[in-house]
A and B are shown apart, each in its own frame.
Chain A
C-alpha cells in the first residue's frame, strides 16, 4: 500500500521544517540540514522539494515581511500540515516495522 510518497531528501526537509518550527524559511532550513547532516544542499534541490511538498499538501507557507538584508525581498516561512505529519508518521512506522521484522541473527553479523 503506497499511501504517502515521500522521498529520502523530502523526508529530511520535512523533518527539518518541523525542527525549526516557526523559523523555517529557505536559508534557515538549508543551514540546519547542512549543520545536522553535514552535507551540502543546493538552493535548487531544497526549493524544488519544498514546492513539491507544498503541492502535495505536506506543507503550507506564509509570506514574512520584506527585510533590508535580503534586498527587500520577503521570507517565505513553511509549516508542516496535519497531512504532512501523517506522512512523517507513516514513514516512521514503516521503518520501525521493518526494523522489528529483522531477525536478530541478521544484525549480529560477525566476520567469519
Chain B
C-alpha cells in the first residue's frame, strides 16, 4: 500500500531521465529488505523516496504546470522591483511604517488576547461561576463583595439541580514556612476543599486528586515548589513546617503541574481547608470570607437561578440586605468591580484603549501607503497608458499594482517580525508581565502576521490599484496629465485622519500621565513619608500576653534609637488594597441623632499612636487614650462616615453613641472624635466610611524614621527583629512604596499609552515626510519661478506651511472633541481626578505642529535652496 504510493510519488516528481534506474535501485533494496525480513520495509522505502526529493533530481515542473505563461507575471514583478529600487526613500518609508505598525499592532494584540484569556483554560470554563455577595438596599445595588459564606456552596448545590458541583476556598495570601533551617515566605497560598483540583481540572502529577486535600493539615505543591522544597526527592508523605498561626507540620499529599499565569486565582501552595474546620464551623452563616465556585449545567438561565436562590438565602440569613450573586469566572479578571478580589483585577478599559491605539497605528501605516502611492501616480501614468495601448485590461493593471503592494507589505511583515522579536523584552517590561516568549516559534503570532500582511495588501493596495488603472489613455499619453484632482481630496482627508489620530493619542498620553502624577502626589490626608510598615510575628500556641510582652520589649528596644521617631500598631497598613481591611455590612446609626443607614462600614483597629504618627488631623474631639479604660468602647469616625449619616461637622456628634444592627441589646460605642478623611488605598476609590476602634496592640507595626541615616536605621530594625523573633521573617515596606505600588497599573498604562502613541506619531510623521518630499519635488519648477520673481526662501516655505496648517486645523476640530469625550470618561473612573486639562490639548497641538513643520520645512527647504537656473533649465 505505502510502497505503491511511494512509487507513484517518485514517478511524479523524478526527472524522467533518472527515473528508471533510480526506481530500479530502490526496488532492489526493497526486495532485499523483504528477504532479510527487516520490519517496515514499505515505510523504509517511503522514507528513501522522500529523501530523494532533491532539486538535482526533480523534473522541470514549468513544462506542464497550470501557469504556462508566466511572462507577464515576471514582467510585473520585475517592474515592481525596479520601481521599489528606484524610489528607495518611499520604499523605506512604506516598509518601515508598515513594520512598526504591524509589530506594534501584533504585540498589543498578543497582550490583549492574553488579558482576555484569563480563566478560559479551566475545564468547561463557561459553566463555572463564582458565588459572590451583593448588598441590595431598597432595590439599590450597594457594595458587591467577591466573597461568600462558607456553607453556601454546599447548601446551594444540594438545593438546585442546575448546580452540578461546588468548591470552597479561602485565600490565605502569604504565610511563613521552613525549608531546612531557613524561613521561607510563601505568597500564593490558598486553602481549598477536596473538590478543588478536579473542579478546575488541574493536572495532577502525584497523589489522588479526590482525596489529597481531604484530611486536615494536608498540603499540595506545584511542580516548581516541590522542586524548591525537596529537590529531586519524592515529596509525597514528607512534611513542611508551617508557621503563621499553625506552627505545625503539614503533610505533602500531592503534586500538580504549574498552573497558567492567566488566572485570577493564582497559587503555588494548596492547603486543605479542613485544617481550619473549627473556624468554618464557628463562622457559619455569620461571615463571608470565602471564595466559592459553582459549576452550572449547560444552558442554565442564570438570572432565573439567582431569583430562585433568594428563598434559600432567607432561610439562612433572614431578611438582611445580602443576596447571592453568580459571576462568570471568565469575567472576573477584566470586568469585576467587586471588593475583596483575591488579586487586583485588570482593566477592560485599559485593554480596549490599547487595542484602539494598536488599530490606529496600523491604520496610519496603511494610510501612508495609500497616500504615497496615489501621490506618485503621476510617475506611473505613462506606464499605465502604454500598457493599456498594447491591450492591458484594467483587471491586469490592478493586479500589477496589488502585487507591488503585496511586495511592500511582505517586506514590512518580515521587518515587523524582526522588530517584534527584538522588542519582546522591552514590551514585557512595559507590561510588567512575562507574557511574550519567542515569537518566531509562536504559531498564532506568525499566522496573525501573515493574515494582517495580506489584509494590509488588500486594504492599502486596493485604492491605489483602482485609481491607477482608471487613467485615460489619451490624456496620459498626450502628456497633459499632471496631477489628478480627485486624488488630492482623498489624500488630504487621509492626512487629516492621521493628524487627528496622532493628536488624540498625544493628548491622551499627557492626560494619563497627569492623572497618575496627581494621584501619587495628592494630599491624602496623612503623611506617609519615612514610615516603614510590617506585619508582627505570629505565634502558634503561645498565649496572647506573652506575645504582647515580647512585642512591647521589641518596640521599646526600637524606640531607644534616636532616629526612630515613633511606633504605632494597626490591623491594616495604609497603602494596601481594598481587601486589606474589615467591614460590616449591617446597618449603623448614631443613637438619637440619625436613622439606621444600611450600608457597608469599614472597621479599622488602631492604637493611640496611629493618628499622630501619620499626621492625621483630628477635627473634633480627641484621640484614643491608652490610660482611659473606657476607650475600649470608644470610636473615632471619619468625615465620610459623618457625611453618610446625614450629619456635618459641628453637629454635636462627640459623646453620642454609635450602634450597629437593630437589636437594642447591641453594644453602643461612644464617639470621642472625628478625623479628617485620609485615603488608606488608591485614589481611584473614594475614602470609605470608616469607624476606628482602639486596641492597645495590633497585628501590624509602623515605624516612623527621622530621615537621617535611613539605611542604618532600617538595618537596626532588621537586626533587632532577628534578635527578638529568630523564627519569623521580617517583610517590611515603606508606606510610600506601598502607595506607589497601588498606582503601578496606572503608571504602566501611562507608559504603554505613551510608548505606542510615540510610535503612532512616528509612523504618521514618516508618511508626512514622504508626502511632503514628493509635493516639494513636484513643485520644483513653481518654486524656481517664484525665486526668479523675487520670493525669499522663508516665503516659499510659508506657502507650503499654509496648506498643512489648514489640515492640522481640521484635524484638531475632529480630534479635540474626541479627546474630550473619551478622556473625560476615563477620568470619571477615578474618585479623585484632575480637572480636564485644556492646556494639554494646546500642548498636543503644539507637538503636532512642531513635528509637522519640521518635516515639511526640511523637504521644502531642500527644494527652495536649489538654484532656479538649474531647475528651470529645460523650460
Is A86's CB within 8 Å of the partner chain B? no
CB distance from B4 to the nearest CB of A (A): 12
Q: B13: shortest Cβ distance to chain A, in Å?
A: 12
Tell me the minimal C-beta distance from A85 to chain B in angstroms: 22
With a CB–CB cut-off of 8 A, which chain B residues contact A69?
Answer: 28, 31
| Residues 1-58 (chain A) with a chain B CB within 8 angstroms | 25-27, 30, 42-45, 47-48, 51-52, 55
B10-66 at interface with A (beta carbon < 8 Å): 18, 20-29, 31, 47-48, 50-54, 56-57
Indicate if the CB atoms of B20 and A73 lie closer than 8 Å.
yes
Contacting residues, chain A, for B54 (C-beta < 8 A): 44, 47-48
Complex interface bits, A59-89 against B, C-beta within 8 A gives 1, otherwise 0: 0000100100111011110000000000000
Number of interface residues of B (CB under 8 A): 21
Q: How far is the CA of A70 from the CA of B21 in the complex (A)?
A: 9
Known contacts A71-B24, A73-B24: A43-B18 contact under CB 8 Å: no
Residue of A nearest to B31 (CB): A69
Nearest residue, chain B, Cβ from A77 = B21
Supposing A27-B29, A69-B28 touch, asked if A43 and B56 sit within 8 A by C-beta, the answer is no
Contact A44 B25 (CB under 8 A): no
Q: Is A71 touching B52 in the complex (CB atoms < 8 A)?
A: no
Say yes or no: A42 contacts B24, CB within 8 Å: no
**Chain B residue at minimum C-beta to C-beta distance from A72:** B24
Task: Provide the residues of chain A in CB contact with B27, threshold 8 Å.
Answer: 70-71, 73
Q: A27-B28, A51-B57 are in contact. Are A73 and B21 (CB under 8 A)?
A: yes
Q: Which residue of A lies closest to B47 (CB)?
A: A42
| B594 → chain A closest CB, angstroms | 92
Whether the pair A76, B57 counts as a contact (CB closer than 8 A) is: no
Select from chain B the residue with minimum beta-carbon distance to A76: B21
Task: Report if A63-B26 is in contact (Cβ < 8 Å); known contacts: A44-B54, A69-B31.
Answer: no
Which residues of B from 765 to 783 have beta carbons under 8 Å from A?
A: none
Contact between B24 and A47, CB atoms less than 8 A apart: no
Q: With the chains together, A66 CA to B51 CA distance in Å?
A: 25
Q: Measured between C-beta atoms, what is the minimum distance from B20 to chain A in Å?
A: 5
Complex Cα gap A1–B371 (Å)? 54
Q: Which residues of B contact A42 (CB under 8 A)?
A: 47-48, 51-52
Cβ contact within 8 Å between A43 and B48: yes
Q: Is the CB of B57 within 8 A of A26?
A: no
Point out the residues of chain B lying under 8 angstroms from A75, CB to CB: 21, 24-25
Q: Which residues of A contact B56 (CB under 8 A)?
A: 48, 51-52, 55
In the complex, the answer to whether A47 meets B57 with C-beta atoms within 8 Å is: yes
How far, in Å, is A18 (CB) from chain B's closest CB? 19
A-B residue pair count with CB separations less than 8 angstroms = 68
Give Cα distance in the complex from A63 to B20, angstroms.
Answer: 10
Contact across chains for B53 and A44 when beta carbons are under 8 A apart? yes
Inter-chain contact B29/A73, CB cutoff 8 Å: no
Q: Determine which of B20, B25, B53 lies in contact with A25 in the assembled complex, contact meaning CB atoms within 8 Å.
A: B25
A47 touches B22 (CB 8 A): yes
* Contact assessment for B28 and A44 in the assembled complex, using a CB-CB cutoff below 8 Å: no
CB distance from B180 to the nearest CB of A (A): 41
| Interchain nearest-CB distance for B22 vs A (Å) | 6
The distance in angstroms between the C-alpha atoms of A43 and B30, with both chains bound, is 12
Q: Which of B21, B28, B52 counts the most chain A CB atoms within 10 A?
A: B21
Residues in B whose Cβ lies below 8 Å from that of A44: 48, 50-54, 57
Chain A neighbourhood of B52, CB < 8 A: 42-44, 47-48
A42 CB to closest chain B CB (Å) equals 4
In the complex, A30 Cα to B24 Cα: how many Å? 14
Residue of B nearest to A55 (CB): B56
In the complex, what residues of B have CB within 8 A of residue A73's CB? 20-21, 23-24, 27
- CB <8 Å contact, A43 and B29: yes
CB B350 to nearest CB in A, in angstroms, measures 55
**Contact partners of B28 in chain A: CB under 8 A:** 27, 69-70
Which has the most chain A C-beta neighbours within 10 Å: B28, B48, B57? B28
Chain A hits for B31, CB < 8 A: 69
Residues from chain B with a CB closer than 8 A to the CB of A76 are 21
Q: Across the interface, name the chain B residue whose C-beta is closest to A26.
A: B25
B18, B24, B26 pick with most chain A CB within 10 angstroms = B24
A25–B25 Cα distance when bound, in Å, is: 8
Cα separation A42 to B45 with both chains bound (whole Å): 10
CB neighbors of A among B381-413 (8 A): none
Known: A44-B48, A44-B54, A52-B56. A27 touches B25 (CB 8 A): yes
Residues of A within 8 A of B24 (CB): 26, 66, 70-71, 73-75
Closest residue of A by beta carbon distance from B14: A47
Complex Cα distance, B18 from A74, in Å, reads 11
Which residues on B sit within 8 Å (CB–CB) of A52? 56
A42-B52 Cα distance, complex, nearest whole Å: 8
Closest residue of chain A to B55, judged by CB?
Answer: A48
- Known interface pairs A43-B48, A43-B52, A70-B27; A48-B57 also in contact (CB < 8 Å): yes
Distance A74 CA – B27 CA, assembled complex (angstroms):
11
A69 CA to B30 CA, complexed, in Å: 11
CB closest chain-B residue, reference A64: B21
Which of B25, B26, B27 has its CB near the most chain A CB atoms (within 10 A)? B25
In the docked arrangement, what's the CA distance between A73 and B25, Å? 8
Q: How far is the CA of A48 from the CA of B52 in the complex (A)?
A: 8
A34 to chain B, nearest CB (A): 11
Q: Which of A45, A51, A70 has the most CB of B within 10 A?
A: A70
- Residues on B with C-beta less than 8 A from A25 are 21, 25
A101 to chain B, nearest CB (A): 35
How far does the Cβ of A27 sit from chain B's closest Cβ, in whole Å? 5
Q: Nearest residue in B to A51 (C-beta to C-beta)? A: B56
List residues of chain A with CB within 8 A of the CB of B47. 42
Q: Is the CB of B48 within 8 A of A63?
A: no
Set of chain A residues within 8 Å of B18, measured between Cβ atoms: 47, 51
Report the bound CA distance from A71 to B22 in whole Å.
12
**Set of chain B residues within 8 Å of A47, measured between Cβ atoms:** 18, 22, 25, 52, 54, 57
- Distance (Å) between the CB of A11 and the closest chain B CB? 17
How distant is the Cα of A75 from the Cα of B20 in the complex, in angstroms? 8
Q: Which of A26, A27, A73 has the most CB of B within 10 A?
A: A73
Residue of A nearest to B45 (CB): A43
B45: shortest Cβ distance to chain A, in Å? 10
Q: In the bound complex, what is the Cα–Cα distance between A44 and B46 (angstroms)?
A: 12
On whether the beta carbons of B20 and A43 are closer than 8 Å, the reply is no
A46 to chain B, nearest CB (A): 9
Inside 8 A of B57's CB, which chain A residues have their CB? 44, 47-48, 51
User: Chain B contacts of A71 at CB under 8 A?
Assistant: 23-24, 27
CA distance A10 to B870 in the complex (A): 63
What B residues does A74 contact at CB under 8 A? 20-21, 24
Q: Is the CB of A43 within 8 A of B26?
A: yes
- Chain A residues, CB < 8 A from B22: 26, 43, 47
Report A30 CB to chain B, min CB distance, Å: 8
**Chain B, residue nearest A52 (CB):** B56
Give the residues in chain B near A55, CB-CB below 8 Å: 56
A25 vs B18: C-alpha distance when bound (angstroms): 13
How far apart are the CA atoms of A71 and B28 in the complex, in Å? 8
Chain B nearest CB from A38 CB (Å) reads 18
Q: Output the least CB separation between A87 and chain B (Å).
A: 18
The chain A residue with its CB closest to the CB of B56 is A48
Q: Determine the chain A residues whose CB is within 8 A of the CB of B48 once the complex forms.
A: 42-44
CA distance A11 to B26 in the complex (A): 23
Q: In the complex, how many angstroms separate the beta carbon of A8 from the nearest chain B beta carbon?
A: 17
> What are 10 residue pairs bridging A and B, where the CB atoms are less than 8 Å apart in the complex?
A26-B21, A26-B22, A30-B29, A42-B52, A43-B22, A43-B25, A47-B54, A51-B57, A70-B24, A70-B25
Residues of B within 8 A of A (CB): 18, 20-29, 31, 47-48, 50-54, 56-57
Query: What 19 additional pairs, Cβ within 8 angstroms, besides A27-B29, A43-B48, A51-B57?
Result: A25-B21, A25-B25, A30-B25, A30-B29, A42-B52, A43-B25, A44-B53, A45-B51, A47-B18, A47-B25, A47-B52, A51-B18, A55-B56, A63-B21, A69-B31, A70-B25, A73-B27, A75-B24, A76-B21
Please list the residues of chain A having a beta carbon within 8 angstroms of any beta carbon in chain B.
25-27, 30, 42-45, 47-48, 51-52, 55, 63, 66, 69-71, 73-76
3 shortest interchain CB distances as A-B pairs: A73-B24, A44-B51, A26-B25
